[in-house]
Amino acid sequence: MSAADLTPATRTSEDVRVANTALVLRTLRADGPSSRAVLAASTGLTKGTVGTIVGRLSDLGAVHEDAPGVAQPGPATRGRPSRPVTLEGSPLVGLGIEVNVDYRAAVALDLAGATQLFTEERGAVGGDRVDVTEVDAFVRRCRRRLEADGHRLLGLCLAVPGLVERDRRVVRSAPNLGWHDLDLAAAVTGGVPAGTPVRVDNDANCAARAEAWVGVASGAEHVLYVTGTVGVGGGVVSDGDVVHGLRGFAGEIGHMRLGDSDERCGCGRRGCWESQVGLLAMLRRVGMPHEPDVDPLLVAEQVARRAAVDADVRAGLALLADDLARGCAVLANALDPGTIVLGGYFATLAPWLLPTVRDRLARDVFAGGCAVRTSTLGLRAAATGAAAHVLSDVFDARVPLPAP
């Protein structure tokens, strides 16, 4: 629940404190360093309230305030030079972890958005079914590393390739991991300090948030992220937050039925967009075999090398680009995202896909075009977005800061 959802009757003084603290943090994030007086003016809070909040944030190490007597530009109060308050961030971090079949990655972001940890592990854990105790062990290893470096966890978010319930805890279905109706949040809660919020989200939703926080769409309030691997996934950021939908399953854009294709999709139905622009469809079009054990991005690099010298491969990619562009135009008209970010193998093959997608959007988007960019976050996108999910819970007053 956000602060705005609280009616006056249910709003406690603790709710008000959390909401006001979040407001000061958001203002510092958006405007950069500001004196207490400027913060009070921009937030509408009293100077006394701002002083209390800044004092507590300073005790937590979340902000840094210049020592008295340091002259700084800006409005002074009672003849004293103003002392800018700066988001410090580094002691407090959100931890994001991506869990995939044979790949796990962790990213910790501090309140100022700086990366304080990036680590990855490869290799399958658990055969047909990814072993949850191995995920828990990975969480514990990351936590120990962060604590050894003097960090405190604001929260943990796990990104998974599958359907996650709206409660942000239960994985309804992640076929690649062999998980169904699994309370993943409960399974890893023991690995973090008591009371630490634990969330779970779909990996494409997390990647979309990462693009809007620190990626190529940094600062944008409205973004559509479209990623191509064997599956085609999407994440929608609207008004700065990820859209989850009624049950939590929004963004399953790979299963839109588009055009007159009758190709069978991995979901068992025919004609899904994924069956036209997913990795397997791309390989079919360029006449290359699918090797299931090879990383999709390495496969795409091989295709890129062939495309540079082989006109038939370029012709196959041109057909793929048409289908990719058609779906992007449908989504841009439905969502008006302003920016579409292409990730996964679409980013690797961007030189052969992007011009067609851009032309189509310029022509077909009723509202008047839509920017298209390619992701540069690579394999760390989902874990980065999961960490950003934790921070957004703090900035949006859904989660309080810990006690100093």
Identified binder of Zn ion from the candidate list 272, 279, 347, 397, rule CB under 5 A: 272
User: How far apart are alpha carbons 183 and 170 in whole angstroms?
Assistant: 4
Q: Which is nearer to Zn ion, 304 or 330 (CB)?
A: 330
Beta bridge partners of 116: none
Q: Is 267 in the site for Zn ion (CB under 5 A)?
A: yes
Nearest approach in angstroms of CB 233 to Zn ion is 12
Q: Is 173 in the site for Zn ion (CB under 5 A)?
A: no
CA 240, chain centre distance (Å)? 11
Nearest approach in angstroms of CB 257 to Zn ion is 8
Q: Is 265 in the site for Zn ion (CB under 5 A)?
A: yes
Q: Is 358 in the site for Zn ion (CB under 5 A)?
A: no
Q: Which stretch binds Zn ion (CB under 5 A): 62-70, 89-97, 253-261, 293-301?
A: 253-261
Q: Which stretch binds Zn ion (CB under 5 A): 23-31, 102-110, 217-225, 260-268?
A: 260-268
Number of shown-chain residues binding Zn ion (CB under 5 A): 4
Nearest of 235, 221, 207 to residue 338 by alpha carbon = 221
Q: Is 255 in the site for Zn ion (CB under 5 A)?
A: yes
Give residues 27-46 in contact with Zn ion (rule: CB under 5 A): none
- Torsion angle, CA of 403/18/238/28, rounded to 10 degrees? -80
Q: Which stretch binds Zn ion (CB under 5 A): 32-40, 110-118, 128-136, 249-257?
A: 249-257
Q: x/- binding map, residues 204-243, to Zn ion, per CB under 5 A?
A: ----------------------------------------
Q: Is 280 in the site for Zn ion (CB under 5 A)?
A: no
Q: Which stretch binds Zn ion (CB under 5 A): 115-123, 130-138, 216-224, 272-280?
A: 272-280
Q: Which stretch binds Zn ion (CB under 5 A): 73-81, 97-105, 169-177, 258-266?
A: 258-266
Beta bridge partners of 234: 226
Within 8 A by CB and 6+ apart from 404, the residues are 56, 59, 60
Q: Which is nearer to Zn ion, 273 or 345 (CB)?
A: 273
Nearest approach in angstroms of CB 175 to Zn ion is 12
User: How far apart are alpha carbons 278 and 233 in whole angstroms?
Assistant: 10
Q: Which stretch binds Zn ion (CB under 5 A): 105-113, 219-227, 255-263, 320-328?
A: 255-263
Nearest approach in angstroms of CB 276 to Zn ion is 10
- Residues lying near Zn ion in the complex (CB under 5 A): 255, 265, 267, 272
